[in-house]
Chains A and B, each alone.
Chain A
Amino acid sequence: MDFGFKLSPSSAINLDKVDLSRFEKLHGIEPDIIKCMACGSCTSSCPANRFSGMSLRKVILDLQRGREKEALGMLRNCMLCGKCTMVCPRGINTRHLILSICRIYGEDGK
């Protein structure tokens, strides 16, 4: 029966079934990643955000939730300009963090 509306796809993530080994490895060399409070300053200052949707805030959240494909797809739009590092209120070296993410998550050639 068509009611004119239907169920939205679930966005639930079962963290028990997510492999976070690479995130733990990343956390080992970039301990600051857990200092992120998702304020979005990096995203609002990102020059690539407006035309590509690049958002470091979302990248970090996606990695914490095991959604690596989405995170790496978004990171391809980063120009490494470093503006996010200048505005981060928690003092995270985001440019270095992005390079570390590429190094660790790119190990299997993805």
Chain B
Amino acid sequence: MIYQGKQKIWADYQKEIPDNHWFYVRSCIRQNFFPGSEKMFLEICRNVLKKDFFETEYHTTCGGIAYHCDTIPQETVMTIVARQFALMTEAGYENYVASCITSFGNYAEIIETWREFPEVETRIRELLWKACRREFKIPKNLAHASDLIYKYRNEIAARAKYRLVNRYTGEPLKVVEHIGCHYAKMFPSKGVGGAEYPYVLCGMIESWGGNVIDYPERRHCCGYGFRQYHVKANRGYSLSNTYKKFESMEPYHPDFILTNCPGCPYFMDRWQYVIAETEGKTYGGNGYGIPVLTYEELASLVLGYDPWDIGMQLHQVAVEPLLDKIGIAYDPKEKYKGLNEKDLMRPELPGVLRCC
């Protein structure tokens, strides 16, 4: 393809992301899986980069899991989302940023539905008014939290204490990036780089010194898929998807995996334990697994935060080999101590997957 043509196609997938003043909504499940991530997102944006990010304790789930599990109809999800938009409008914001990929996909789908079918929007406004006497404006800008870290990646790089470089070899770390399916596969123009070449995580990795690995199953789903995992009889299918990805990336020897979805890091992290127990196979060096990080955790690590303060001890796969490679200082004795110095107790060690 000629270069100018490529530039033109690429331009279609560039996304306008305002620099400041965002209304932030959290994910339902991320706070349980990797509780440091959302806290660190606000910490970095507010206290390190001095941006205006507002969040309210009155926001609820977006209804995405129930919607994708076919347990509630779209009108219900739309009304829940309309209430979230009402909270944003009442707080005086016009830019809406979601922590969760499924929420982001949900919001994009609903805004697009209202644009296509204005009568549906009118009906939802009526339902919201009847339910809780609220009114809303549709956000001017909708972003996923990883879009914001992508936008601030160079500011973070300028303040970084560590680079994604193997200190033993001097080579850039080899990183697998995994984008949540609902980020751009449903509405390619809503994501940075579209569905085929999403650049949101690649941009961060390259700015912070790492190398992105291209491997055959790069765009394959992590395997979560609500209707697969939540039905126990289908869990083998979910596991098999993750297994397929790991088998595909194994020959490239990645140092770690970077994700931007609530479910992907959880399943790629925890399934490594299940694969090790059932198949006796591990994918990292010396019996370890491949660490799976969220983009907020990675940003926090390069900025020099203590790994135990950002919740790295809650990962199934040990992150210590990665910290050693980058040269990040940590105290093993502090791993299972809470912020209040209370002992969090030690988890039982797995039989096959090596953990520190």
Contacts and interface: CB of A to CB of B under 8 A. Distances in A.
Interface of A: 1, 3-8, 10, 12
B243 A7 contact: yes
A3 B271 CA distance: 11
B240 interface: yes
Contact of B239 (A1, A5, A12): A5
Secondary structure type dominating chain A contacts:
loop
A56 B3 CA distance: 43
Given A3-B274, A5-B233, A6-B236, 7 more contacts: A4-B232, A5-B236, A5-B239, A7-B236, A7-B239, A7-B240, A8-B239
Contact of B278 (A7, A8, A12): A7
B244 interface: yes
A3 B244 contact: no
Residue of B275, B277, B278 contacting most chain A CB atoms (<10 Å)? B278
Given A5-B232, A5-B233, A10 B240 contact: yes
Interface of B: 232-233, 235-237, 239-240, 243-244, 274-275, 277-279, 351
Contacts of A6: 236, 239, 278
A91 B279 CA distance: 49
B79 to A, nearest CB: 36
A10 B279 CA distance: 14
Contacts of B232: 4-5
The 5 closest A-B pairs by CB, nearest first: A5-B235, A5-B236, A8-B240, A1-B277, A8-B236
11 contacts: A1-B351, A3-B235, A3-B278, A4-B235, A5-B235, A7-B239, A7-B240, A7-B243, A8-B236, A8-B237, A8-B239
Nearest to A12: B244
Nearest to B237: A8
A38 B272 CA distance: 37
B244 A10 contact: yes
Contacts of B240: 7-8, 10
A3 B238 CA distance: 13
Contacts of A1: 277-278, 351
